[in-house]
């Protein structure tokens, strides 16, 4: 009985590529929104909560394995799903950038109306933040493709790049 249960767990972890890609895409918006909340509200009492959520989602992504190649996705696929698709969609004007639109949604959310952010009155540094996100995901994707991502790595990267 125990062996059957263990085998089911292993098979559950290995998924068809299409399913795996969908699961990662489903996590991407909340993952990136939480990173942007850290950038928008660096003095919020919710920072630790957001960091824990980000690391939990990334660890969940790190546990997903593809049946297609019996392992992890390669670096370029993780980067495409987590950074390129959401943020690198060609030349965008400042107001039409995905990053700016997502920040506007967060800043106008009633949950954050009483939380201080200098970006409620100040221009959001889109290029600089995209570069920080790229640095973050360059590191994360390297760990993901090797299957060695751990919570402390995520927390340290967030602290180093975003706080």
49-90 tens-digit pLDDT: 999 999 999 999 999 887 766 688 999 999 999 999 998 876
pTM of the prediction? Answer: 0.87
Residue tagged 């990334």 (tokens): 58
Q: Cα separation of 24 and 39, whole Å?
A: 22
Tell me how many domains the chain contains. 1
Q: Are 107 and 117 in contact (CB under 8 A)?
A: yes
What tokens were used for 46?
Answer: 């919710």
Residue 96's domain comprises: 2-162
């Amino acid at each position: 009985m125990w062996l059957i249960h263990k085998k089911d767990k292993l098979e559950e972890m290995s998924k068809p590529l299409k399913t795996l890609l969908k699961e990662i895409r489903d996590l991407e918006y909340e993952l990136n929104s939480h990173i942007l909340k850290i950038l928008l509200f660096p003095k919020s009492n919710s920072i630790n909560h957001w960091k824990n959520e980000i690391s939990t989602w990334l660890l969940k992504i790190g546990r997903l394995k593809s049946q297609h190649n019996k392992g992890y996705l390669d670096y370029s696929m993780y980067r495409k799903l987590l950074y390129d698709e959401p943020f690198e969609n060609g030349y965008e004007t400042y107001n039409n950038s995905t990053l700016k639109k997502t920040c506007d949604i967060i800043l106008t959310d009633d949950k954050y109306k009483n939380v201080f952010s200098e970006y409620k009155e100040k221009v959001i540094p889109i290029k600089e933040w995209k570069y920080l996100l790229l640095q973050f995901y360059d590191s994360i994707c390297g760990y993901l493709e090797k299957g060695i991502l751990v919570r402390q790595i995520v927390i340290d990267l967030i602290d180093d790049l975003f706080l």
